Amino acid sequence: MAFPQTRMRRMRSSAELRGLVRETELRPEKLVLPLFVSERGPEREAIDSMPGVERLSISAAAREAAEAASLGIGAVLLFGIPAHKDPEGTGAFDDEGVVQLAVRAIAQHAPHLPVITDVCLCEYTDHGHCGVLLEDARGALTVDNDASLELLARTAVSHARAGATVVAPSDMMDGRVGTIRAELDREGLHATPILAYSAKFASAFYGPFRDAASSAPAFGDRRAYQMDPANGEEAVREALLDVQEGADMVMVKPALAYGDLIQAIKRAVRLPVAVYNVSGEYAMVKDAARAGHIDERAVVLEILTSLRRAGADIVISYHAKEAASWLT
């Protein structure tokens, strides 16, 4: 009987050898922890659809950020939940708004931890859409892309002035990266990077997030501005357009079902690529683990490693604290 000369198992025979030839590395500093910061409410409020994730007061968010820093996590990503909402989402660009105050508080507790801020209006509008509304010729309400750009730019400037390390527009309005870059530069904020939610899909995986941020649309959906999950070439085009407009990093959201696009976009843009391991993806793992169907630690680390393998330089995940503790 002839035996194969090439035996792939040779380099799998011990943990030491496997580690020596491991192609993809997962480290805490590649992870970003999202935080939901509430302007009013208790210090911590559980989110039923996202076990282990809480709405936090500003002071609790600062302490959570400090804990993330102590675990070696690379950054936090802030989402604000304002006390009041209105049609234009004015709380988003209020210099004393919830995110702006949280950025300052985190700087006191974790001065070296990068803080990324979500730039969008959906959490601040009373209708839950990502821009201001316009009534079209048939009397139907739609999101006014161009009128929303100024408000998004004002939000990004306000966040940067408060001390945000990176601003991350997630609205999917056409031209928002260029508008934000121009306004940041006009205000002397040349050093503030933009992480663009470039390939953000109208996904069924976002349900628990809308619960957490109280940001579900009051009518309709977001398919007119978020991407069709069936479109891959369009996702690459979106990312390239954002790069042309001045994005410093781009994002693919969600993550698990989009590994092909993470890889394609990484090859196309030659910039750092972030992925968002979103709320529905998180909740599925948590629910399966609670039911005893999976080994949570093993599954989480496999998922995060797979996203890095696909090409992600940065992984935004609600599992970040747990994963960081397992990796250290």
Which positions are annotated as active-site residues? 200, 253
Within 10 angstroms of residue 306's Cβ, the number of other Cβ atoms is 17
Rg (CA), the chain: 20
**Residue that the structure tokens 């208790």 belong to:** 42
Within 10 angstroms of residue 228's Cβ, the number of other Cβ atoms is 11
Which residues partner with 199 through β-bridges? 252
Per the CB < 8 A criterion, the answer to whether 145 and 225 are in contact is yes
The set of residues, in sequence order, having a beta carbon less than 8 Å from that of 319 and lying 6+ positions away, is 277, 282, 285, 300, 303, 304
- Three-point CA angle 62, 289, 69, nearest 5°: 20
Within 10 angstroms of residue 133's Cβ, the number of other Cβ atoms is 16
What is the helix (H) or strand (E) element at residue 36, kind and residue range?
Answer: strand 31-38
The rounded distance, in Å, linking the Cα atoms of 169 and 207 is: 20
> What three-state secondary structure class fits 238?
helix
What helix, strand, coil percent values describe the chain, rounded to 5? 45, 20, 40
The set of residues, in sequence order, having a beta carbon less than 8 Å from that of 267 and lying 6+ positions away, is 311
Would you say how long the chain is, in residues?
328
Query: Which residue, among 45, 69, 65, has the nearest Cα to 57 in the 3D structure?
Result: 45
| Token pair belonging to 215 | 């940001």
